[in-house]
Amino acid sequence: MFRPRALQSSLSIRDKIYSIDYILLLSILILGIISIFAMYSTDGGQFLYHTKSHILRFFIFFLFFFCISFIDIKFCHKTSLLIYLIFFLLLLGVKYFGLTSSGSQRWINFYFMNLQPSELMKVGLILFLAKYYSRIPSNDINNLKYLFFPIMALLGPILLVMTQPDLGTSVLIAIGGVVVIWLAGVKIKFFAYFAILFVSLTPIAISFLKPYQKGRILTFLNPDRDPLGAGYQIIQSKIAIGSGGLFGKGFLNGSQSYLDFLPEKHTDFIFTLFSEEFGFLGSTLILLLYILIISRLVKIGHLTRSIFGKLYCYSFATAFFSYVAVNMGMVLGLLPIVGAPLPIMSYGGSSMLSIMFGLGIAMSCKIYKDSPIN
């Protein structure tokens, strides 16, 4: 079943290139190229700022993804706590040195880019919890003592992100963390307890919500409540997607986005723009590409032999799924509007960095699938 150790540690370059998951690679590349065209369309069919910087970012981070892929998974395994701590410190840093934009403090200014540590934390938390659970024996997993630490690791970043405030990202971070805990085998009753606790705390939580956040939830429940205010985004997004029809309005002809009816078209509503211009066929293509990526991630989880690798790949696949599902659900009017970018497609450096980082680790799991982890 296991190859001799000597073989495993000395994979030749050829072996590594052979074991790259080309389907995953190709899917990412196709989505990236599609996103460049979409970005070109948001710039009104001109080669402007958003398009240029999106292209630059995509290629830099794609390269980054490639580099990460060829770093042995063992390295990530070893440094995962460190990575988590660095990201956590960055999140703390946001609290003190962060840049504020449209009412929330999310970014740290590094000279080459404004970094959003909460995006990185999405991956960092999964990495850390995967390592944690791969190391404790299965008997101890349901021990309350061992549950305390992951919950702390989970709550810390979530609370920090919530107070930025950024409800969407904190929910996505939470989903990632909870998925790892779930996959590790924590008993369902604990989840049930948490669910009960969560529901009973909801009324208190609601009182802490900002008025605009409350508004968004109420608007989600009834978009016509305030068609020019809070409901505007959902209504315009639905109009844009619906008016795309089967074949779409054609590239660069999406009137809803071109005429600025569509809000946040570069970031959260990039899928809407694409759906409007390329119709049902286009949106189905995007959906299929994401399904392909997620299923490849799950497949890698199957192939990799270490518990850490499995936990990471499955969790990241699920987290990735949740990003896609939340974003699409949001623009399709199935979920409230909670600022969540669509992975790879959306404009935004941090999101792209974090996704490419996560995908890179998964790819490394594939390449070093037989690498033994202590």
Partner 1 sequence: MINQAGPSKSRTISRRIFILSIAKATVFCGIFGRLITLQINESTKYKTLSDKNRFREWRLAPERGVIKDYFDNELASNQKVFQLHITPENTDNIEALFFRLKNILNLTDKRVFALKRKIAKQKPWEPIIVSDNLNWSEFSRINLFLHELQGAEPVVSVARVYPDFSSSHVVGYVSRVSVNDLKNKKYLRDLSVAGITVGKTGLEHKLDEQIIGTVGFQRYEVNAYGKRIRQIQLDKGQSGKNFKTSIDATVQKFTAELIKDKSAAVCVMDIYNGDIVAMVSSPTYNPNAFVYGINNKDWQDLLNHEYKPLLNKAISGLYPPGSTIKTIVALSALENDVASTHGKVHCKGFIDFYGDRFHCWKKKGHGYMDMRSAIKRSCDIYFYELARKLGVDRLAITAKKFGLGRKVLEDFREEKSGVVPSTKWKKKFIGQNWYLGETLHSGIGQGYFLSTPMQLCLMTAQIANGGYEIKPRIIIDSETKNNKFKNYIKFKNKFPDKPLPTELLFENINLKPLFRNQENINFIKDAMFGATNEVGGTSFSSRFKNKKFMFAGKTGSSQIKRFTAEQRKNEVKQNQIDYKDRDHALFVAFAPVNDPQYAISVLVEHGGSGSSSAAPIAKKVIKKVLERHELRSKIPKNYGKTV
Nearer to partner 1, 99 or 141 (CB): 141
The whole-angstrom distance between residue 243's C-alpha and the CA centroid of its chain comes to 28
DSSP track, 233-287: HHHHHHHHHHHHTTT-S-TT--HHHHTT-STTTTTTTHHHHHHHHHHHHHHHHHH
What is the spatial distance between Cα 279 and Cα 245, in angstroms, rounded to a whole number? 5
Binding residues for partner 1, rule: CB under 8 A, are 134-135, 137-139, 179, 182-185, 236, 238-246, 255-256, 259-261, 275, 279-280, 283-284, 287, 291, 294, 298, 301-302, 305-307, 310-311, 314, 317-318, 321, 325, 328-329, 332-334, 372-374
Q: How far is the CB of 41 from partner 1 (least distance, A)?
A: 15
Show the 3-state SS of 218-236: HHHHCHHHCCCCCCHHHHH
Dihedral sign for Cα atoms in the order 18, 21, 23, 27: negative
Nearer to partner 1, 116 or 327 (CB): 327
Q: How far is the CB of 321 from partner 1 (least distance, A)?
A: 5
Nearer to partner 1, 22 or 247 (CB): 247
The whole-angstrom distance between residue 105's C-alpha and the CA centroid of its chain comes to 19
Dihedral sign for Cα atoms in the order 84, 181, 197, 215: positive
Q: What angle do the packed helices 117-135 and 167-184 form, to 10 degrees?
A: 10
Q: Please check whether residue 118 is in contact with residue 340, taking contact to mean a CB–CB distance below 8 angstroms.
A: no
Q: How far is the CB of 144 from partner 1 (least distance, A)?
A: 18
Q: How far is the CB of 204 from partner 1 (least distance, A)?
A: 28
The position carrying tokens 């016509």 is 224
Q: Give the residue from 210, 241, 211, 215 showing the smallest Cα distance to 228.
A: 215
Q: How far is the CB of 48 from partner 1 (least distance, A)?
A: 17
Token code pair at residue 35: 């996103």
What is the spatial distance between Cα 251 and Cα 238, in angstroms, rounded to a whole number? 19
Nearer to partner 1, 46 or 284 (CB): 284
Nearer to partner 1, 315 or 350 (CB): 315
Nearer to partner 1, 156 or 329 (CB): 329
Q: How far is the CB of 264 from partner 1 (least distance, A)?
A: 13
The position carrying tokens 């989880």 is 301
Q: How far is the CB of 287 from partner 1 (least distance, A)?
A: 6
Q: How far is the CB of 351 from partner 1 (least distance, A)?
A: 20
Q: How far is the CB of 19 from partner 1 (least distance, A)?
A: 19
Q: Give the residue from 270, 271, 243 showing the smallest Cα distance to 256.
A: 243
Which helix H or strand E contains 107, and what residues bound it?
strand 104-110
Nearer to partner 1, 15 or 260 (CB): 260
Nearer to partner 1, 278 or 347 (CB): 278
Nearer to partner 1, 118 or 236 (CB): 236
